[in-house]
Structure 1
Amino acid sequence: MSNYSPIKTMAVLAIFSLAGCTEGPQTPEATGYEAQAAAPGALDKFEAYTQRFPETTVITQSHATGHVGDFFFTHWKDGGSASLTLSPEGEFSVSWEGGGYNYVGGPGWHYGDEDRMIGYRFDEDSGASYITLYGWGYDETMPTSDPAHLVEYYVLQRWTYDPSQNAEYGTTFVSNGIEYSTYRSVRDDKPSINGPSTFYQYWSKPAEQRPLGEDHEIIFADHVKAWAETGWIIPDMNNLNASDDPTYLVMAVEVFNPADDGTASGRVWDAAAQ
């Protein structure tokens, strides 16, 4: 896979915020193209904020999802200032300002696939809370009183905050030559793809942080297997029945209460297709 190259063309995504967000409809600063409607079918439910764009795009809204080229993206924040720039080739950067808020965003796919192999490279990380493979599973047939009905999962690569604090240890295993340990925690009545909910978080944390400036590969099936062998099952990862977002799988940058301004940039690709 070729090295990450700087993004050269930009457009600003005009998109409507969800009901309940603090921002209203926004006007593009510069488009340079006509936004295409979301592909008909599966994602129509989320058409208020899911669109498809053929060129490099800058996303600044409080809540936005969609496709740039063939890559799905998520971009969510509960305040502050953060933006995601994404090219159709999977090159992306996240920039944030310091403040008291949470942001998560990045490119990938609008559904999880246990057999997906993810390639990525980060050339810059000025202090994100997490650089991570990130996604959700959801089963609306399970009682909401069971945190297992909704799972937010992380395969960490880099971090400035240790999520294993106050979490339940699961197991230690090796994937693609890298030793990971698993942890599980519970979020009580917190924001999710299905509104405020109580849900599990599953974590895979490598023994050492993954270095910048190198191509890496994540074998997602190894993590799903390790979680399951501990009794931690991810519900349906291809589910469009949640209220706010599909059950996506992305290479994400997350920051919460960042003390300083920062940037993280890299590239993501489907390693199985290479």
Structure 2
Amino acid sequence: MLGSTLVLALSAVAGVFASPLELIQRNEEHAEKRGIQPGQGNHNGWFYSYWTDGRGYIDYNNNAGGSYSVSWQNVGNFVGGKGWNPGSATRNVTYSGQWNAINQNSYVALYGWTRNPLIEYYVVESWGTYNPSSGSQRLGTVYSDGSTYDIYRTQRVNQPSIDGTSTFYQFWSVRQQKRVGGTINVKAHFDAWESSGLRLGTNHNYQILATEGYGSSGYASITVY
């Protein structure tokens, strides 16, 4: 839409309207600048996952090794990053990077899924204007890697999941002292969740160091090691 409008406006100024073929070619060039298409796969020895609801502008790119970058403008919802498939309950995840969305609805988190039961989980390292666990009851805390994390559980009803539209629980550890970079002791969070009555599934799906945005704009460049 934006590409077509811009082409027509420039053509009108020049006194010549672009042909339909030119519009298609220019739109394809614009689309290429948006990075890879949403999906999952392997890149440079790392698993990646990138999902969007299709609203707004998102430019997600897989870079060398465990690195990725993403810029977004006026999005609905997206989440993307690199990591592993399957995930692990005992992994130490070390990462570094930049995240320019402090005044936006966005967060950087270790993000993953399990089955049996279906659970979506987050270890939130940094968040902007909205705490993603707002409105839910705090079930406990865990101290790990230099900060206290608050533990929450929320439920999603008839929402997108790795098994299509489903109803499932979300488990959260939300870091009080925000950071972008460091090591996440995954086992510490999983053990704390179980102690709080939150049991993950027995079948681990993917586990990535993700950037997520909702109704926001921003930029992130993250490397997982």
With normalisation by structure 1, the TM-score equals 0.65
The residue identity in structure 1 corresponding to 2:185 is: I
Cα distance, 1:128 vs structure 2? 5.4
Match of 1:218 among 179, 184, 198: 184
How far apart, in 2, do the equivalents of 1:182 and 1:208 lie?
14
Counterpart in the other structure of 1:198: 167
Task: Please state which structure has a larger fraction of its residues in strand.
Answer: 2
Greater RCO, CA 8 A, separation 6+ = 2
- 1:222 is paired with a residue whose SS is helix
RMSD, aligned CA? 1.8
Does structure 1 conserve the Cα–Cα contact (< 8 Å) formed by 2:63 and 2:69?
no
Alignment map for 1:250-265 (pairs within 5 Å): 250-258=208-216, 261-265=217-221
- 1:121 is paired with a residue whose SS is strand
Cα distance, 1:257 vs structure 2? 1.4
Task: Please state which structure has a larger fraction of its residues in helix.
Answer: 2
How far apart, in 2, do the equivalents of 1:185 and 1:229 lie?
17
Does structure 2 conserve the Cα–Cα contact (< 8 Å) formed by 1:166 and 1:185?
no
- 1:249 is paired with a residue whose SS is strand
Counterpart in the other structure of 1:185: 154
How far apart, in 2, do the equivalents of 1:125 and 1:106 lie?
16
For residues 173-210 of structure 1, the C-alpha deviation after alignment (integer angstroms, 9 at most, x for no partner) is 21123211100000011111111111000000111211
How far apart, in 1, do the equivalents of 2:199 and 2:85 lie?
20
How far apart, in 2, do the equivalents of 1:65 and 1:134 lie?
14
Q: Give me the identity figure in percent.
A: 36
- 2:173 is paired with a residue whose SS is strand
Counterpart in the other structure of 2:126: 158
The residue identity in structure 2 corresponding to 1:131 is: V
Structure of greater Rg: 2
Determine if the alignment matches structure 1 residue 110 to structure 2 residue 78: no
Unaligned runs of 5+ in 1: 1-27, 30-57, 140-148, 239-246, 270-274
Determine if the alignment matches structure 1 residue 76 to structure 2 residue 76: no
Alignment map for 1:56-75 (pairs within 5 Å): 58-59=35-36, 61=37, 63-75=38-50
Unaligned runs of 5+ in 2: 1-27, 30-34
How far apart, in 2, do the equivalents of 1:234 and 1:124 lie?
29
Does structure 1 conserve the Cα–Cα contact (< 8 Å) formed by 2:58 and 2:71?
yes
Does structure 2 conserve the Cα–Cα contact (< 8 Å) formed by 1:134 and 1:154?
yes
Alignment map for 1:219-234 (pairs within 5 Å): 219-234=185-200
Alignment map for 1:40-51 (pairs within 5 Å): none
